[in-house]
Copies of this chain bind each other. A is one copy, B any other.
Amino acid sequence: MPTASERLKQSGIVLPAVTSPVGAYVPAVRHGSLLLLSGQIPLRDGKVAYTGKVGGPRTLEDAIAAARLCAINALAIAADTAGGIDRVARVLKLVVYVASAAGFTEQHKAANGASQLMVEVFGDAGRHARAAVGVAELPLDATVEVDVTFELA
């Protein structure tokens, strides 16, 4: 069984550097073996790579890519907090918020962009419980926000 770090390499995914949010909150908090993350938006090189609502300016394909990018950012934080991605034992839960124009009701398909990344990196240990909902607006006009709970080894 390949490790998560080996799978990342195989997939050609490079985890970005983590920059701590400026403010009263932090990227992640550990409680026992639970690692609770802050909600991740699709930031790339310090900019929001996907803005606008799905079913409006954004397509479902964009939303899937945005959710995948959010999940990669979550992995970067987990690796940074836990001392390497291989310290993550399992993905427990995702809550996927999708900025949705009226009438867009495929939030579950958008969320698959994050879910499938988790399985790509962790195999069966990446299979998680999930909620996907369509929200009115997201910070910085992000298309998707993903809230992840990991279990650490």
Contact = CB atoms under 8 A, between A and B. Distances in A.
Interface residues of A, number: 55
Max chain B CB contacts within 10 Å: which of A37, A130, A135? A130
A151 B92 CA distance: 15
B138 A135 contact: no
A147 interface: yes
B138 A134 contact: yes
A39 interface: yes
B135 A135 contact: yes
Interface of A: 23-29, 31, 33-34, 36-39, 90, 92-95, 97, 99-100, 102-108, 112, 115-116, 118-119, 126-142, 145, 147, 149, 151
